[in-house]
Structure 1
Amino acid sequence: MTQPRPGGVPPRLFNPRSIAIVGASADPLKLSHRPLEYLRHGGYAGEIFVVNARADEVAGLRSYARMADLPAVPDVAFLVVPGAQALQAATECAKLGVGSAVVASTGFAEAGEEGAARQLALTALTREWGIRFVGPNTNGLYATHQRLSLGYNAAHAQVLAEGPVSIVSHSGALFSTLSARMNTGGVGLSKFVAVGNEADLDMLDFFEYLVNDPQTQVILLVLEALRDGTRFLDIAARAQAAGKPVAVLKLGMTQAGAASTNAHSSRLAGSARAYRALLDAAGVAQVSSVEALVAFARLVQSQPPGWQPRGLGLGVLTASGGGGTLIADAAVAQGLEVAALSDAATQALTRIKGSPGLLNPLDVTSVGGTPSSGATAALLAGDGPVDAVVAFLHTLPSAVGRETFARAIGDARRGSGKPHLVIAPGTLPAEQAALLASQDVPVFTDSASAMEALAAFMKAARSRRSRGPADPEVNLSALPAGAAGQARALNEIAAMRLFTEVGIRCVARAIVADAAAAKAFAAQCGTPIVLKGVVDGIEHKSDVGLVQLHLDTPDKVAQAFERIGRAMAGLPVPGHVCAQQMMRGELELIVGVVHEAPLGRFLLMGLGGRYAEAIDDVQLLRMPVSRDEMRAFVLKGTVGRVVTAARSPRASTLEDLVDVLERLQTLTANLGPTLQAMEINPLLIGDAAPVALDALIVLTTEGDHP
């Protein structure tokens, strides 16, 4: 009997009382033998069943020919049989009543049409029988607190240290790299799962599970693509409310990386810009390497209780002028600030040695040397503009000096309640590193990943903003008659009508039936004018001769009308000629809304005009958002720097642009799920309010809503 698909990760998946290894080989050299070996080596205390029709015994355990022969129903089955046999094995598990199955087998959606059909059949088993699947095409999961190592990755062969950090990954192979880095960095693991092809349970299911898991305090995601951007935002908000920091390593952020992702998995990498905007909206940390991902977790673990940064200001402490410069440069490159010390702190530091003009980065050799490092470190860390402290260390010549400096850093951390970390590219003597570790001061040897992690850590800690309202329901009352449900791009005349209805200023325009009407329009609004051929389906009009500019005499207007007529005569779709006032301004922008399935809708803004694609200076902002968030969005990019410059022709341009973005969001709400995209290009910026010179709106059919 068909049952409704259950929700959530089954509690017994990470804490099973019994496990069946289906397809476990008796040959210890074979890959299919490893899950059983690793499970036992890891200290799993529950009951283990082996299912292998070709063996009576595997590694000292009785082997059963079929799932139905087992003496009890296991909580979890691990399927390590060939892909062609995996569906049958999964079906046996489902009919027996197994709660969860980890399908390690390959040969599913990543392997072409036949594999995709096999994966659909696997998903159907969940709907029919209620069994939950991890994978297929996964190398398993790990839960340290439960002594559960269920997989065949090299990391599954190790007994990993317990800790508060859990990982959900679209890459199973990276588990070995992650676990090794965590081990050397003193970061303990709680849970790991490689989600594989996500035939059933997906990354968001496990993300949600970890938010509610008391053994997880830090969540790391190695992400290729998401199925639901809105759900991701909801779960991230709950993680934030629960005090569980989240960091994301997004794979496929370049064209080459996306191609690689698509080549080895069943997922599409999607738009890098959209993912950055979505992760920004979620307030999660974003890093670009395994090293930075693990460094982020270590920083979270060492975070003093109750710390909340007021800004992004760093105090830099060093015994080397060059080291301070390196950290300062790296901080600025990561969007952090080298804090300007207060007058009080500067004066207090000056009194230590009497040297005026002390600045941050602070070289202790200029403030009394190592013997004074305790007072120096305390003054730096305690200063108001400093939110965190980075110490750049090299090996000092004396053991006493090394100990003094290490204790100074630890004491400053405790006294200030602010995070401290040490960057030591040349490593440190073991006793100094151990002393710092005992004071919960992490030491990193890779400057780049440490600074990237620190920036992600501090920005995420400051990103305590609440989300806007949920995506609004469709309001078709604002649509002009006949617009709803049209599976086509509205031409600029129809699009500008909609923009005008929500208060966006549009250029004066009219459809002209002949040259005489075009001349009359020019006489009415003044020259020069522009004539355009408006043809459904053609977005880049100038490429096919449908745009005529600088028409400042009646003869030029008439000749241009004839040229456009000839250009349209060669097109398969009839069109109209539109006359509009020709306007000049200081700046041309592109603004609009794009739908990035399945991440949601995003506001778009950047430098525009006919070279918008070549310039490629575009930002995205995940909707819905507040007016304050829109203003910050404009200010952080090139457009913001230009319109707020001293020579900007109009002081109110920033607020004018925010008005336009607000109205685009309103129109998006009015159009509801029929909207696929909208664009104003160019939006002209000058000494008056911004004006739309060209526009496009794309609607989907009612049966194909985004």
Structure 2
Amino acid sequence: MKDCNGRDALDCLLSPRSIAIVGVSSDFNKLNGRVMKFLLEKGYNGKIFPVNPKYEEVGGHRCFAAIGDIGEAPELAVISVPAKVVPEQLEAAGKAGVRAVIVFSSGFGEMGEEGLEKERQVVEIARRHGMRLCGPNTLGVINAFEGAFATFTQYGMGSTNPGPVGFVTQSGAFGTAIAALARKRGLGLGYFANTGNETDVTFADCLGRIVEDPRITTLAGYIEGITDGPGFVSVARRAMELGKPLVVTKVGRTASGARAASSHTGALAGEDAVFDGIARQHGVIRARNEEHMLDIVDMSTTTACPAGRGVGIVTQSGGAGVLMSDRAEEVGLNVPQLSEETVARLRDILPAFGAAGNPVDVTAQFIADPSMLKESVKAVLDDPNVHVAAVWLQLMDGFVDTLTRTFRELKEETDKPFVVSWVAAPEEGLRALRELGICALRGAEPTIDAIAALVDWEEARQARLADTAAPSDPPALPAPGPGFVPTEKSVSLLHDAGVPVARVGLATTCEQAIEHAERIGWPVALKIESPDILHKTEIGGVEIGLKDAESLRAAYERITGRAAKAAPQARIDGVIVQEMGSGTVEMVIGLRRDPGFGPVVMVGMGGILIEVQKDVVFNRAPVTEAEASRMLDKLKGKVMLDGVRGAPPVDRAALCRMISAVSRFGAASADWLEELDLNPVLAGPDGVIAVDCLLISEN
């Protein structure tokens, strides 16, 4: 939404040309005095309008009794008043033509039903006036490039030099802590935004605008829950297009509560599992915690992405080299054997007691001859199998100038990236390397982890850019009716969507079942059909490999008898006669409608132990066949697809086509689908086929 000057409301929030401070205090030590204090101290050059009937002026600026008295429409209004008077101040701001508002006040949705009612009231006012609302219960936003500090966060009290990082957080206090840690590392935040209760402006809204700023090269975020999944995906895609890494820490890795689910897909589709898969799908770097996040951010702002997974390790400690090598292999990096030429070159550089393999141990001898370190790193980087070098040091308080000069020369004389792991480093050393644009992290494993994150991101980005066959949303499918969708109907819908599913027929008598078997072709499987018995095997409601009418008659009696005994109140629609499939590997493919992201597709290793092994991957639907292949690559059991113990490899292309077809079906049925479970899907060298399906419709 834009005003008459063409300014979007989100631009007015994140880059305001004028700010009204409603409820301002002349005491800059108070929370409602900090916005004025920061704007004056940080050099904001836009218009400032203090609003409070108690004062004639604040901070050398005329103070207005009400926002409507200003005589022009401020682009942004910061409302710092008690919750009970927020609605009337919002109403006044809307009538004054304000484009965006920040509400600091707490006492809304976080306080229960009464607070939720207040929250609904302020949202209605903002929407009625076409204002974008950040908050309530927020610390506000900072645009450090322009000195626009519309916040009361303690982070604003120190040095806040702008830098290439845009940071958005759903937590005020923890977000402030992360910002303070970033400052301590010398990382400049160009933007800081806290979205508070996210009644209107979301995490994705803020990042979506920040990513477009050419001064920002890296995005970072702290997430507690996704309120706008499609928006988050859109931001991730845009960041990847622009080559800007997006690093997030999301809490809630464990199950937040039991979810009623009818299928394996539903049972496994926890919020975190879904987020994790979608994050990988769209190149989002997921950090374990705030320190890990800042390690990756630090490296991404200083270091070019390596062109491959080969890491050359140069240390002054053999033990540190082993530690880094172990960690590199754990996170999927390679520690390649150096070429004979590289080893020979290193032997000419190192003392006789140094190690010329990979890792390279230059020993403490390099202190006497600093060129030894530089030439060793150059030799390692020149090796064709090495894409990035990691240099490990400790202490060296008396050699900061020497090391600074060495690393400056090294940067000038090499093309491939290198990073420094400097344990117990002197502060002046870290500052000197940052000024040179060289990443120096605090330890061996953090350094390797950050390298792996950048390598993974670059590979994901290249794969995304190469995947030109982006799927379009298919036309919507009509809802089949609420609850359990009969097997015949489910199979028909899936066949129409291009999903290979074994042929079926519904029989209400034994003779009718035999007729279906003759039509389908022996052998067949027999399954009880009931909307009240979704897990048929648990009550003995499935028999397979029936080769003739006699075996089918016996199986029919056993199955119906078991169902009557195990579930006497169940509605029995008959039995399903199903074509027998074949394959060498059991897979599972499923769909689930996620409350944040919409339809998601799951693929994993199937069978009866699926919920124990949990070897599954989620992506947002629809996916291309190339994306489906990348999903398979993330499975721990992916080696099974290549054939083990003499078994032939499965038709991977056919499996990818099937995953993509299922995902398109999920997108087409997004308005009504609750869950789909295809388990098992039999994959073999001659193709793939689903031999059991469970489809649940919400309406």
TM tier, smaller: 0.7 to 0.9
Letter of the structure 2 residue corresponding to residue 314 of structure 1: V
Partner of 2:293: 293
Map 1:532-551 → 2, pairs under 5 A = 532-536=527-531, 538-544=533-539, 546-548=541-543
Structure 1 residue 419 displacement after superposition: 2.4
**Selected match of 1:636 from 634, 637, 642:** 634
Partner of 1:155: 155
Give distance in 2, aligned partners of 1:326 and 1:510.
Answer: 60
Letter of the structure 2 residue corresponding to residue 312 of structure 1: R
Partner of 2:509: 514
- Structure 1 unaligned residues grouped into runs of 5+: 260-268, 702-706
Give distance in 2, aligned partners of 1:548 and 1:461.
Answer: 49
Greater Cα shift, 674-683 or 95-104: 674-683
Partner of 1:497: 492
Q: Retained in 1: the 8 A contact 2:601–2:666?
A: no
Map 1:562-641 → 2, pairs under 5 A = 562-564=560-562, 566-567=564-565, 570-571=568-569, 573-580=571-578, 586-641=584-639
Give the secondary-structure state (helix, strand or coil) at the position aligned to 1:560: helix
TM-score (norm 2): 0.86
Structure 1 residue 42 displacement after superposition: 3.4
Structure 1 residue 107 displacement after superposition: 2.4
Give distance in 1, aligned partners of 2:9 and 2:409.
Answer: 44
Give the direction of change, closer, same or farther, for the CA distance of 1:52–1:258 in structure 2 (3 Å limit).
Answer: farther
Partner of 2:140: 140
Give the secondary-structure state (helix, strand or coil) at the position aligned to 2:164: strand
Give the secondary-structure state (helix, strand or coil) at the position aligned to 2:363: helix
Letter of the structure 1 residue corresponding to residue 358 of structure 2: N
Partner of 2:262: none
Partner of 2:449: 452
Give the secondary-structure state (helix, strand or coil) at the position aligned to 2:137: coil
Give the direction of change, closer, same or farther, for the CA distance of 1:597–1:648 in structure 2 (3 Å limit).
Answer: farther
Letter of the structure 2 residue corresponding to residue 150 of structure 1: A
Letter of the structure 2 residue corresponding to residue 84 of structure 1: K
Q: Retained in 2: the 8 A contact 1:289–1:449?
A: no
Q: Are 2:666 and 1:695 equivalent residues in the alignment?
A: no
Partner of 2:433: 436
Partner of 1:378: 378
Give the direction of change, closer, same or farther, for the CA distance of 1:437–1:7 in structure 2 (3 Å limit).
Answer: closer
1:117-159 per-residue CA deviation (whole Å, 9 max, x = no partner) reads 3333333334332322221111111122222322222112223
Give the direction of change, closer, same or farther, for the CA distance of 1:670–1:258 in structure 2 (3 Å limit).
Answer: closer
Letter of the structure 2 residue corresponding to residue 206 of structure 1: C
Give the direction of change, closer, same or farther, for the CA distance of 1:79–1:365 in structure 2 (3 Å limit).
Answer: same
How large is the RMSD of aligned CA atoms in angstroms?
Answer: 3.6
Give the share of equivalent positions with the same residue, in percent: 26
Structure 1 residue 258 displacement after superposition: 12
Give the secondary-structure state (helix, strand or coil) at the position aligned to 1:117: helix
Q: Retained in 1: the 8 A contact 2:600–2:666?
A: no
Give distance in 2, aligned partners of 1:593 and 1:55.
Answer: 60
Partner of 1:312: 309
Give the secondary-structure state (helix, strand or coil) at the position aligned to 1:309: coil
Structure 1 residue 337 displacement after superposition: 2.1
Give the direction of change, closer, same or farther, for the CA distance of 1:494–1:376 in structure 2 (3 Å limit).
Answer: same
1:266-321 per-residue CA deviation (whole Å, 9 max, x = no partner) reads xxx97212222222222232212222222222222212xxx453312211110100
Give the direction of change, closer, same or farther, for the CA distance of 1:129–1:73 in structure 2 (3 Å limit).
Answer: same
Partner of 1:263: none
Give distance in 2, aligned partners of 1:12 and 1:502.
Answer: 46
Give distance in 2, aligned partners of 1:257 and 1:209.
Answer: 33
Structure 1 residue 685 displacement after superposition: 4.0
Structure 1 residue 451 displacement after superposition: 3.3
Give the direction of change, closer, same or farther, for the CA distance of 1:556–1:14 in structure 2 (3 Å limit).
Answer: closer
Q: Retained in 1: the 8 A contact 2:277–2:618?
A: yes
Give distance in 1, aligned partners of 2:491 and 2:96.
Answer: 61
Give distance in 2, aligned partners of 1:671 and 1:145.
Answer: 45
Q: Retained in 1: the 8 A contact 2:105–2:137?
A: yes
Map 1:240-251 → 2, pairs under 5 A = 240-251=240-251
Give the direction of change, closer, same or farther, for the CA distance of 1:600–1:312 in structure 2 (3 Å limit).
Answer: farther
Q: Are 2:368 and 1:361 equivalent residues in the alignment?
A: no
1:347-374 per-residue CA deviation (whole Å, 9 max, x = no partner) reads 3223435969832111113998863222
Map 1:124-139 → 2, pairs under 5 A = 124-139=124-139
Partner of 2:331: 334
Structure 1 residue 544 displacement after superposition: 4.7
Q: Retained in 2: the 8 A contact 1:75–1:100?
A: yes
Give distance in 2, aligned partners of 1:258 and 1:699.
Answer: 20
Partner of 1:649: 647
Q: Retained in 2: the 8 A contact 1:373–1:404?
A: no
Give the direction of change, closer, same or farther, for the CA distance of 1:270–1:24 in structure 2 (3 Å limit).
Answer: farther
TM-score (norm 1): 0.85
Partner of 1:201: 201
Letter of the structure 1 residue corresponding to residue 635 of structure 2: G
Structure 1 residue 696 displacement after superposition: 1.9
Give distance in 2, aligned partners of 1:431 and 1:323.
Answer: 23
Give the direction of change, closer, same or farther, for the CA distance of 1:11–1:531 in structure 2 (3 Å limit).
Answer: closer
Partner of 1:223: 223
Q: Retained in 2: the 8 A contact 1:532–1:546?
A: yes
Structure 1 residue 468 displacement after superposition: 5.5
Structure 1 residue 486 displacement after superposition: 2.6
Structure 1 residue 605 displacement after superposition: 1.1
Map 1:475-494 → 2, pairs under 5 A = 475=475, 484-494=479-489
Letter of the structure 1 residue corresponding to residue 139 of structure 2: N
Give the secondary-structure state (helix, strand or coil) at the position aligned to 2:450: helix
Give distance in 2, aligned partners of 1:493 and 1:586.
Answer: 26
Q: Retained in 1: the 8 A contact 2:324–2:445?
A: no
Give the secondary-structure state (helix, strand or coil) at the position aligned to 1:163: coil
Q: Retained in 1: the 8 A contact 2:643–2:649?
A: no
Give distance in 2, aligned partners of 1:202 and 1:413.
Answer: 40
Partner of 1:461: 458
1:177-198 per-residue CA deviation (whole Å, 9 max, x = no partner) reads 2222222212112111111222
Letter of the structure 1 residue corresponding to residue 487 of structure 2: E
Partner of 2:679: 681
Letter of the structure 2 residue corresponding to residue 662 of structure 1: S
Structure 1 residue 342 displacement after superposition: 3.0
Letter of the structure 2 residue corresponding to residue 245 of structure 1: P
Q: Are 2:183 and 1:183 equivalent residues in the alignment?
A: yes
Q: Retained in 2: the 8 A contact 1:165–1:217?
A: yes
Q: Are 2:80 and 1:83 equivalent residues in the alignment?
A: no
